[in-house]
Amino acid sequence: MTNAIFLSAGIPDPVRGPEFAATADSVAITAAVSALVHVTLGRRVLVWGGHPAITPMIWVVADSLGIDYGAWVRLYQSNYFVDEFPEDNARFQNVVYTDDIEHHLPKSLLHMRERIFGENQFDSAVFIGGMAGIVDEFHLLRQAQPAATVIPVATTGGAVLDIVKEMPSHSEDLSQDFDFVSLFHRHLNISVKERRYARPADQPANVEDRMY
């Protein structure tokens, strides 16, 4: 899948990641994820690795826009979590289930992430909140697709602040602006006037496709 946008996001768990939870703003994380879906859906393909807090957020916004979101999102989910899949997974028609490697969490997550970056070409990658996993995804992205634009939304706190430390030249508004819709329009170069389409141009058309 080409010209896609990668999302790496999460709401830090205060038990598993207290150092990330201490700086995270869960309201800002939710607002940023929702804004990203609102700006991109019907305009750019959005790809992410399954997260029990993030996937339901994406579905709620996607469903409210009334667009064939199955054509515009691609969810990767490791079978390591087969007993924990959120019911929202079933609502997306475009889910890629990746192998459970030796029932070993780090190996299974690495395999999933390598498939994400090997099977998709990203124009941009957005990092929101999260714990150590989003830092791992940042490093893998930098290795696999160094030309992709990295957008660390520092106002959401969490592990994204560690990414910002590795990007001293990041835009100041990413650390100040809570108007996430406007922020993503600017950083993703998506005009507010850009139309939404029923499906991406590289997917087969049908008679029900229309512009919004």
User: 202 in a domain, yes or no?
Assistant: no
pLDDT value for 88: 61
- 3-state class (DSSP) for residue 143: helix
> Is 207 inside a domain boundary?
no
Parallel, antiparallel or unpaired: strands 4-10 and 149-153:
unpaired
Tally the domains of the chain. Answer: 1
Q: How many C-beta atoms lie closer than 10 Å to residue 15's C-beta?
A: 7
Q: Domain range holding 142?
A: 4-187
**CB atoms closer than 10 angstroms to residue 118:** 10
Residue 23 lies in a domain: yes
Note the pTM of the prediction, 2 decimals.
0.90
Q: Is residue 93 part of a domain?
A: yes
Residue 204 forms part of a structural domain: no
In a domain, 203, yes or no: no
Supply the pLDDT for residue 211.
45
Give the tokens for residue 10: 């999460």
What CATH number is associated with residue 99? 3.40.50
Residues 6+ positions from 151 with CB-CB distance below 8 Å? 124, 125, 126, 127, 174, 184, 187, 188
Instruction: Provide the pLDDT for residue 86.
Output: 61
In a domain, 56, yes or no: yes
**What is the H or E stretch that residue 74 is in?**
strand 73-78
| pLDDT tens-place values along the chain, 212 residues long | 557 999 999 999 999 999 999 999 999 999 999 999 999 999 999 999 987 778 788 888 877 887 777 788 898 989 998 776 666 666 667 789 999 999 999 999 999 999 999 999 999 999 999 999 999 999 999 999 999 999 999 999 999 999 999 997 778 899 999 999 999 999 999 999 999 887 777 655 543 444 44
| 120 contact partners, CB below 8 Å, separation of at least 6 | 1, 2, 4, 6, 47, 74
pLDDT confidence of residue 209: 47
Number of Cβ within 10 Å of residue 54's Cβ equals 25
Residues 6+ apart with CB under 8 A from 200: 45, 71, 72
Domain assignment present for residue 212? The answer is no
Q: List, in order, residues 6 or more apart from 62 with CB less than 8 Å away.
A: 37, 41, 69, 72, 73
Is 47 within 8 Å of 116 (Cβ atoms)?
Answer: yes
128, β-bridge pairs: 9, 153
CA 211 vs CA 41, 68, 198: distances in Å:
12, 12, 6
